[in-house]
């Protein structure tokens, strides 16, 4: 599914497309609707960069099972390098 945000909405919000996506990602993460990994993908940011964005807004990091499993997979891939 794709969502199209019209140029007039972006113009009215005084945000770029990237800023808009980051705002939506932060809101959905803060409300518990998206995991850290999914929210960082929506924001088009790396996980660490997204965590820094959350920290700058004093939004606590919720580290769930999905995040833990993703970290384990990443570490497993690093062992094979």
pLDDT at 64: 72
pLDDT at 80: 61
Across 40-69, b (16+ Cβ under 10 Å) vs e yields bbbbebebeebeebbeeeeeeeeeeeebee
For the stretch 13-67, pLDDT in tens is 999 999 999 999 999 999 999 989 999 999 999 999 999 999 999 999 877 787 7
Q: How confident is the model at residue 9 (pLDDT cuts 50, 70, 90)?
A: very high
0.85 exceeded by pTM: no
pLDDT recorded at residue 71: 82
Q: What are the residue ranges spanned by the domains of the chain?
A: 7-79
């Amino acid at each position: 599914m794709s969502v199209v945000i019209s140029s007039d909405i972006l113009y009215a919000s005084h945000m770029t497309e990237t800023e808009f996506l980051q705002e939506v990602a932060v809101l959905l993460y803060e409300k518990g609707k998206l995991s850290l990994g999914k929210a960082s993908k929506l924001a088009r940011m790396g996980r660490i960069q997204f965590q820094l964005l959350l920290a700058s807004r004093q939004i606590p990091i919720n580290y769930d099972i999905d995040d833990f499993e993703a970290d384990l997979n990443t570490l497993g891939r690093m062992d094979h390098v």
